[in-house]
Structure 1
Amino acid sequence: MSSDVIHTAWCEILTDRIANNLSLALSLLPEHAEFCAVLKADAYGHGIAEVAAIVCEHRIKTVGITSNAEARLVREAGFEGTILRLRTATPSEIAGAVADRVQEQVSSLYTAEVIDSLTEHSEGVHLAINAGGMSRDGLELNERDGHDTCQRIVDLLGDRIVGICTHHPSGSEQDLQLSDQHFRSDLNWIFSNTALKREQVNVHAGSSLSLISSTPIETDFYRCGAILYGILKPELGFEHTMQLKAQITNITTYPQGSTIGYDRTTTLTRDSRVANIALGYANGFRRNYFGRSHVLIRGQLVPVLGKVSMNTIVADVTDIPVVEVEDEVVIFGHQGTGKIDIKRIEMQADTIMADIYAEWGQRNPRVYI
């Protein structure tokens, strides 16, 4: 790590793994299906500009974003394909994204009217419906008002509608089958009762979960994020794409009976050598990790002691013969023969890896490997 700025905690972004995961995901696509690389949340904390460059190398035609800033960074990275916003935008966002040629989602007459009023808006739009049952911002077609709204949106926007989409909330086989049936039913109603025709639009509900599922679904392309970053299915060859590391700043010996950290929550049961590590909850090593977290030092798994401080944690290195200041500490990833994998870190954090990646990537400097 050569830099004018010394980082004592950092994320390593494994770009070769992102590229390999993308290639593997493309190999799983059903025949004639397209792929949308999801780059929202700064590419799950990995850095959207850098990941967009990998996407360009693989000639991906569509990417998914949420903010105007993300759209601009994708264009600046050289991406010339379709940018699809993965949520409803505000009127200001819609107007501000015209220059970057963003395709918007529409699920209300209000948003349709906003787009129709922008004479400079020439990109296609996607009708978002609540067939999957996420109930976030998709149009609910089971209600009479929903049918009327759908017809009015189609009448207003006409052939500017290039897609119809929904999002399935669960990857379980039974749930996926049910929500796919709902989606197909809603599509049949739309194609039977509005001017839209199946051959005129892309229908999309695919995601990472449905791509790796054995359950076939109605979709023309898959919007995938999790598998790009190695969150799912390591048995298929997908690998995690980020490692969180820090350095030891001090090593001290304390006698049996000493207490560690705030509120004296941990009492040493033996004379112990402890390492102070330059990382804490400000870096995304959350306070609720207390009592259930380990790190890797010299390839050995060691427990973290006491409550997590803002910028430091303490690890018990008594059983490691040689430890030095500036030794590398692995919070997530591999070191020698030791590893802290996704399953362990998700259990420790009591959340999903996408949540963890996004936080770590925002709170720590990134080093690209």
Structure 2
Amino acid sequence: MKKRLLAITMAALMGCSLMACSSGSSETKTDTSSKAEESKDSESKADESKADAGEKKDAKNFKVGMVTDVGGVNDGSFNQSAWEGLQKAQKELGIQAKYVESKTDADYIPNIETLVDDDYDLIICIGYQLADALKTEAEANPDKKFAIVDDSSIKLDNVACLMFEQAQASYLVGYVAGKTTKSNTVGLVIGMSTDTMNEFGYGYLAGVKDANKDATILQNNVNSFADTGAGKTAANNMVANKADVIFHAAGGTGLGVIDGCKEAGIWAIGVDSDQSKVAPKTILTSAMKRVDIAVYDEAKAALDGEYKSGVKTYTLKDGGVDIAPTTDNLDPELLKEVEGVKADIISGKTVVPKVKADFEAKYGDIYELD
């Protein structure tokens, strides 16, 4: 009897052991299966994303949003030009378009996230100041397409970097300033001293000096793209020191520069867009940086399934930078000279300096805003 009870007990224990093993094996299998399914899903989504990149989208359901820098959408310059390009895309391509305005640096990430959460197909950030925020969001949302103006530091598969040879445009207006000044004193106001903004400076100073080697160039870094009061003060100080032509590359701050020039009755030179409409009798010309074209091109490429990450650079040769088409205040003979200067830049005969070493090799240490 004892032997029978022992046998039954052993059998029961073995049965429990087998059930426990069977249960553990089942959980592991389910877990592995789940991971395999997730892996397949991930690969499938990646494949769909690649396929999606090459397909033309339905325009009426295609959404492109832009985030301004602190200069705001009505800066009469950089951000406004970008928005005009996106509005053109909306009108001509039939897409949906929206901008989100940044008041401070702290708005950049929340503004980008707003467009991500609203499922925008392409999100364009206007200005290098948004680079860190964009990189953070692009890494967190690899399935979203992004673009940024004036920054080429982000090396991600879902970020397009839209760059410009702005030194070429500022060289042209510098040449105009050097030929136009009567006092032999001109001014330069920039919003901030960065690599991008300094390209404007090097180009302008080089143009002035090549047109008029005796010209004095007053320089001021305002450290803001949204302080019209500081812009006007900078212009007033230059007027007090006999400047009769002042170029600004300062976004919204530049509206103050233009106002100061208007009150003093001297020439102002605009930037990014044709700013003649801001003050028709004050704006001599403008250094065009066609952010509007770049934004339009990027929206169209994304809509057509031709979006590409990486750097795209706009130049004088392709019309991405230029002198403004409004020429009411320019001498016709000077315009002819400018056309010759443009041809020399495009052909490579004239090489416009963009960096400090190249500038100083020819003109010396006269740039004061580094």
TM-score w.r.t. length of structure 1:
0.25
Structure with a larger share of its residues in helix? 2
Structure with a larger share of its residues in strand? 1
Larger Rg: 2
